[in-house]
Structures are given as structure tokens and as C-alpha cells.
Amino acid sequence: MGFSTHLSTLARITLLGALAIMTSPAALITFDSLDTSGGPVETYTESGATFSAGNKDFTVTTGVQTASVFADEGRSLRTAGSPMPTMRADLTGLVGYVSVELGDMGFDADLLFLRAYADDGGLLQEAQLQTDTSNAMLNELFVFVPNISYVVFGGIVNGSSSSSVYADNFYFGAAPPGVDGGEIPEPATIVLFAAGLGAIGFLRRRR
């Protein structure tokens, strides 16, 4: 195999790698488009993420018992009925970063969690945050690890993962916003893409 063949293969790999990063999904989901006017829904899909919660249905909330505290948060995702099970989001594309904001509807002490899984069900990474009864705000958790297939999130109280928490501002992408593979291609990714194109063009001119 000659030098040109090696260079051609490397150029194509470089180009495909840059394309994978630049075309990976990156979405911020605020659940403002979730329509439950006809009643709760079993699943909700937006921007490449499908949300489910076992045998529970989804609805939305514009706040909690003290709605004025969350008046500026808009619509949030929660399950219909009680207790609230763990929520799950199945993701499409090259995903390496997920964040979600979780809030407590009962103002009890919750162990909030976000867990990332591979497509074979193996746990990749977990984020946790213990809150107390005075915490009445949304709390952001994130996981940052390659090859995330799906995540589960919710709250634990007294050892039971059925706390009445709700979710908002769910983000997923190849990387955090503003980093290569996030919402906007960074200069390094653009340079990588250009290098691949340039190498292929060079080889074509030599032939």
C-alpha cells in the first residue's frame, strides 16, 4: 500500500470524524411544546430524545405547590399520578453529554440523580445531588462520557426512587454547549474538516 493510499484513507477518516462531530445532535428541550391538553401522554419525543416513565403517563406543570417560586420557569415535565417513577430519555446520534434540571414538588429532602447508560444497558456515569427541605429551586445535574444511549433521572427519598420531582431544560449533545460537538462547531472542528477536504483535493490533483 503506497503513501498516497495511506494519505487517502487518513483524509477520509479525518473528514468523516469531523462530519460526525459537526452533525451530531445538540438540543435544549424545555418541554414547552409538550401538549397534554387532551390528557396525559405515555411518551414524548422532541429533537431526537424520547421520554418515558415505565407505566406512568407524562403531563406538564407550570410550577409546584408554591407556584410563584417557579413562575419564571415555564412548563416542566412530570408524571401524572403519584408516586413518580424514574424518568428515561432515549437519545439518537453521537451523544457524550447530557444535563437536566430537577426540582422537588414536595419540598422534602431528595437525592437527585442522573445516570447515563450504554446501548447494552451498562452504567457509564452517574451524577447525584442531595437537597434538603429548604431547597425549592431547580438543580442542574450533568454527565459527560462518550457513547451515551439513554439516561434515567429522578429523585430518591428514604431509599425509594419515586420522589415527586419534575424536570426541565434537558440538554444533550456530543459535548457541552460551546465545546467541539456542541451546538456550534468550534474552530478546531472546522480546521479538521478543512484538512480532510484539502488532503482529498491534493490527492485528486496528483492523479
Closest CA to 84 of 68, 66, 116, 61: 61
Which residue do the cell numbers 490533483 mark? 205
Give the model's pLDDT for residue 113: 94
Provide CB contacts within 8 A for 19, sequence distance 6+.
193
Give the model's pLDDT for residue 13: 53
Mean pLDDT for the chain overall: 73
Residues 50 and 84 placed together within one structural domain of the fold: yes
Give the model's pLDDT for residue 201: 56
Residues 101 and 32 placed together within one structural domain of the fold: yes
Residues 14 and 99 placed together within one structural domain of the fold: no
Residues 130 and 191 placed together within one structural domain of the fold: no
What is the value of pTM for the model shown? Answer: 0.71
Q: What does the pLDDT look like over 9-44, one tens digit per residue?
A: 554 555 454 444 445 568 999 887 877 777 778 888
Q: What does the pLDDT look like over 120-140, one tens digit per residue?
A: 999 999 999 988 876 667 889
Residues 190 and 123 placed together within one structural domain of the fold: no
Domain count, the chain: 2
Residues 81 and 131 placed together within one structural domain of the fold: yes
Residues 121 and 80 placed together within one structural domain of the fold: yes
Residues 44 and 107 placed together within one structural domain of the fold: yes
Cα Rg of the chain, angstroms: 21
Residues 51 and 39 placed together within one structural domain of the fold: yes
Give the model's pLDDT for residue 185: 46
Range of the domain at 3: 1-24+180-207
Residues 78 and 41 placed together within one structural domain of the fold: yes
Which residue do the cell numbers 467541539 mark? 180
Q: What does the pLDDT look like over 54-81, one tens digit per residue?
A: 777 777 655 443 333 333 345 777 776 5
Going by pLDDT thresholds of 50, 70 and 90, the confidence category of residue 144 is very high
Task: Check which CATH number belongs to the domain holding 120 and give it.
Answer: 2.60.120.200
pLDDT reading at 3 higher than 50: no
Residues 129 and 198 placed together within one structural domain of the fold: no
